[in-house]
Structure 1
Amino acid sequence: MQARIVGAGRGVRWLAEGWRLFRAAPLGWLAAVFGYWLLMSLVSLVPLVGVAAAAVLVPAFSVGFMALARAAGRQAPLELGLLFDGFRHEPRAQMTLGVIYLACLALLLAASTLADDGALARWMLTGLRPADEVLQSEAFFSALAATAALYLPVMFAFWFAPPLAAWHSTGPVKALFFSLAASLMNWRAFLGYGAVAGLVTLVLPFLLLSLLALATGGGYRLPVASLVLPLLIVLLPTLFASFYVSYRDVFGYDAAP
C-alpha cells in the first residue's frame, strides 16, 4: 500500500467522476442515501447519547458509500447491503475510528466556546438556531472560522482512514497517519477538488436564485427548500462517490479488494 501523488487536474475531476458513478445507478444511490439519513436520524433521537453515537458510526458508513461507488465503477448491482460494508470488514477498527472522530469533534466544539461562549456548540448539539444578533456577531464568526480551520486536519486524517482500515486491515492510528500524510502530499488535488465542490454547492445555487430574482423583477420568492432539496438529492450521492474516486486515484485502481 503506497500513496501516489496526483495533480490538481485530477482533483478537479473527482467530482465529475463521482457524478458519473451516481448516474450509473441513481436509484440505488438514492435508496442508500435515504437509508443512511433515516438510520442516522433515528440514532440521533436516542436521548443523551444519540448525537454522539451517530458521530461514532460515520467512519463505518463512509466505507459503505465507498463500497457502493466501487460497485458502480465495476458496473455491479448496487445492493443496499453494501452500505453496511464497514460493519463487516474490521468493525472494531471502524468503531475505534468513530470514537476518535467523536473526541476530535468534542475538542473542536470545546475550543469554539472560548470565542463565542458556546453559541456554535449549542447549535451543533441541539439544532437550535442562535438569535440573529448572535449569528452576526464577530465572536460567532471567529468561532466558526477557527473551528473550520481546525477541522481541516481532522478531515484529512479521516478522508482515507476508514477504507484503509476496512480493506487493508490497517490499524486505526496508522490509518489516520497514512490518510493525513497522503492528503497533505496531494494538497494540490484537494485544492482543485475543494474549488469545484465549493462552486457547485455554494456559488451555483446563489447564482440561480439571483437570476430568478432578476428575471422576475424580485417579485418571485423561491422557497430555499425547493432549491436545496433537489440539489441535495443529486449532490450527496455525487460527493460520496467522489470520495471513492479520490481514494482510487491516490491508492491505486486495484487497491480495494
Structure 2
Amino acid sequence: MQARQLPLYRGWAWLKEGLLLWRANPALMTYMAFGFLLTLVVVSIFPLIGQPVASLLMPILSLGVLNGCRAIDEGRKVGPDILFSGFRGGIAPLVTIGGIYLIASLLALSATVLADGGTLLKVMTGSPVDEAAVNSPAFTLALLIAIALSTPVVMAYWYAPMLAGWWQVPPVKALFFSFYACLRNWRAFLAYAIGLALFGAVLPGMLIGVISLAVPALGTLLTLLVPLVLLPTVFASFYINARDVFGLPGASAASHPLIVDDNHAD
C-alpha cells in the first residue's frame, strides 16, 4: 500500500467516473448516499449524545458506502445491508478515528472564539445569535480561521476509514497517511473541488433557474430530481478517488501502478 501521486486531470475524472458507477447501479448508490445521511441525521436528533455518537458512527458508515461502491465496481450483487457492513469487522479502529476527528473538529471550532467571541460556535451548535454579530467582520474572520484549521482535519480523515477497514492500518497511522496522501495530491483535489463547484452547484443552478422561468413546474421537478443523481454521484466519486490513490486490497501492481512520477504530474 502506497499513496500514488496523481496528475491534475484525474480530479476532473473522479466525478465523471462516479457518474458511471452510479449508472451501473443507481438504486443501490442512491440508497447508500441518502441512507448514510439519514442515519446520521436521525442519530444526531438525540439531545446531548446525538452529535458525538454520529461522529463516532460516521467512519463505520463511510466504510459501508465504500464497500458498496467496490461491490458495484466489481460487478458483485449485494443487498441494502452493505451500508452497515462496517459493523461486521473490527469497529474499534473506526470508532477511534471518529473520536479523534470529533475532538480535532471541536478544537478547530473553539479556536474561532478568539476572533468573534463565540458567534460561529453558537451558529454551529444551533444557539440563538444576534444578526448584527453574524454580519460583522469578526464573524468573517472566524469563518476563515475555521476553514484554515478544519482543512487539515478533513485531510487526515478523508482516507482514514478506508485505510483502517481495508488495509488494517492503526487509527493514528491511518490519519497520518490520509493527510499525506491528500497533501501529495493537492493538484487533483483542486481540480476535483472546481469540478464539484461547477457541476454540483453552478451549472445545475443555472439550468434549473432558466427552466423554471420557462416552465415553473418542470423547474420544481428538476429541483427534486437533480439531487437524486448528483448526491450519489459525489459519494461514488469518493470511492473512485480512494481507489485511484491507494488502489484496492489484492489488486495487482500492473493494474494499479503505485506512483505517478512528479515530473509527469500536471
TM-score normalised according to structure 1 size: 0.87
- The answer as to whether partners of 2:29 and 2:236 remain within 8 angstroms in 1 is no
Supply the RMSD in Å over aligned alpha carbons: 2.6
Q: Name the counterpart of 1:232.
A: 227
Q: Does 1:181 align with 2:199?
A: no
Q: Which secondary structure state, in structure 1, belongs to the residue aligned with residue 111 of structure 2?
A: helix
User: Structure 2-normalised TM-score?
Assistant: 0.84
- Residues 235, 132 of structure 1: CA spacing in aligned structure 2 closer, same or farther, 3 A cutoff? farther
Show the 5 A alignment for 1:60-99. 60-99=60-99
Distance 1:159 1:255 in 2: 21
Letter in 2 for 1:82: I
Offset of 1:212 from its aligned partner? 5.0
Pairing 1:142-157 to 2, within 5 Å after superposition: 142-157=141-156
Q: How many Å apart are 1:34 and its aligned residue?
A: 3.1
Number of aligned residues: 251
In the alignment, the residues of structure 1 paired with residue 234 and residue 128 of structure 2 have an alpha-carbon distance, to the nearest angstrom, of 26
- The one-letter amino acid paired with 2:230 is L
Q: Sequence identity, in percent? A: 42
User: Structure 1 residues 140, 221: CA separation in 2 closer, same or farther (over 3 Å shift)?
Assistant: farther
Q: Deviations over 1:114-133 (max 9, x none)?
A: 2222222222222x675654
4+ long deviations beyond 4 Å: 128-132, 220-223, 225-229, 253-256
In structure 1, the residue matched to 2:170 is: 171
The answer (yes or no) to whether the contact 2:56–2:98 under 8 Å persists in 1 is yes
Contact 1:29 1:78 in 2 (8 A): no
Which amino acid is 1:72 matched to? I
Find the counterpart in structure 1 of residue 243 from structure 2.
Answer: 248
Map 1:31-70 to 2 at 5 A: 31-70=31-70
For 1:244 and 1:129, how far apart are their aligned partners in 2?
Answer: 38
> 2:83 and 2:48 mapped to 1: Cα distance?
26
SS at match of 1:57: helix
CA distance in 2, matches of 1:241, 1:176: 21
CA distance in structure 2 between the partners assigned to 1:130 and 1:146 by the alignment: 19
Query: Partner residue of 1:15?
Result: 15
